[in-house]
Amino acid sequence: MDRIYLDHAATTPLAPEVLDAMLPHLREQYGNASSVHQMGRQARFAVEESRERVAHCLGAEPGEIVFTSGGTESDNFAIKGALASRSTDGRTHLVTSAAEHEAVLRPAERLEADGYDVTILTPEERGAVRPQHVEEAITAETALVSLMHANNEIGTLTSIREIADICHEQDVWLHCDAVQTAGLLGVDVQDLGIDLMSVSGHKFYGPKGTGCLYVRGGIDLGPLVEGGSQERDRRGGTENVPGVVGFAEALEHAVNASEERVDRIATLRDRLVDGIREKVDPPFVFNTPVDQPDAIAPHIVNVSFPPVDDRPLDGEMLILNLDMQGLMVSAGSACTSGAMEPSHVLSAIGRDRATASAAVRFSLGRSNTEDEIDAAVDALASTVTRMRR
């Protein structure tokens, strides 16, 4: 069959309209945005206009947008910056979840090694932490709660608004990794009530290496990257003008098309789920809570294959065999899929090692069709049957 790409949670192709917006800044308008001559002023205008567009898309003010290289940097900036800033007031405690992205868990480990207090909450079986458990974990020393909006491996949504209210009642900042939902679910920082939010451009058909951190007005974060006065002294280094322009263009297009796109992708997701149930031989288990459509992002379906007669399915070979049939999917997070260890997210929601190690994440995008979904189901069904034999 033709190649079918169902790994949009890992990355998306650069949209043609985004490339068109970037090209002038890659060719003739190549000035440094910190230069005072005409070409530099043109670059500065492009950056600040992009900042206004991004802010409008996210319900923020332009001064609350800090351009970064993507989700990982934004997560690090938010977590390390918040703890450093609030530690002067005796708030040295971080609360997060065992199902978060590595870009949150690794900084949390570093902070704990440096003497900060870190609480890692266990998510419920569907993959999100209960607001009640967040409330119970908060102490007088808590500086920050960091939780993602939609889990990047299984798609579960977290009750961010409810948790934000809990945090603010106790003067705790809330950071939200919205990498999988910004540009898709109409993310608005005012509606969510959050203080810090991470966004990555290549998840919504923008250029790789671009993103932003929303920093609510009044919050003072020291720079993560020092060496220049860019981004109001919050991120040193020459601005990536083409990337910034492409990021803004991609986000604006994604937000404008989000309602129609969500409906279409959710329909394809349901077709995928129904196809797996109909054509794939059991046993299998949906790690995504597909029976709770309001509790999940529209584009992610994660399914595992438990052992049969004590014989586990080789998850790596499953992904490779699907690839040989032209189906491009992943075992989970693209940032950790090269590792042989089972997904930490699936382990956190209670999957045993063998089941967690034999998982497939399908993530849908705007170009996918019903025919592709049907072909993907057929490829999965035949591959699993053949491997079990």
Q: Which residues are catalytic?
A: 335
Distance, C-alpha 184 to centroid of its chain: 11
Do residues 318 and 383 lie in contact, with contact meaning Cβ atoms separated by under 8 Å? yes
Do residues 381 and 327 lie in contact, with contact meaning Cβ atoms separated by under 8 Å? no
Do residues 14 and 210 lie in contact, with contact meaning Cβ atoms separated by under 8 Å? no
- The Cα–Cα gap between 166 and 170 comes to 7
Neighbours of 122 (CB within 10 A): 12
Read off the DSSP letter of residue 156: B
β-pairing verdict for 285-286 and 300-304 = antiparallel
- The Cα–Cα gap between 305 and 323 comes to 17
Indicate the helix (H) or strand (E) that contains 136: helix 131-137
β-pairing verdict for 93-97 and 117-121 = parallel
- The Cα–Cα gap between 318 and 153 comes to 17
Indicate the helix (H) or strand (E) that contains 177: strand 173-177
- The Cα–Cα gap between 31 and 251 comes to 24
Do residues 200 and 193 lie in contact, with contact meaning Cβ atoms separated by under 8 Å? no
DSSP, collapsed to helix, strand or coil, labels residue 216 as coil
How many degrees, rounded to 5, is the angle at CA 82 between CA 79 and CA 88?
140
Read off the DSSP letter of residue 351: -
Do residues 62 and 55 lie in contact, with contact meaning Cβ atoms separated by under 8 Å? yes
- The Cα–Cα gap between 281 and 382 comes to 9
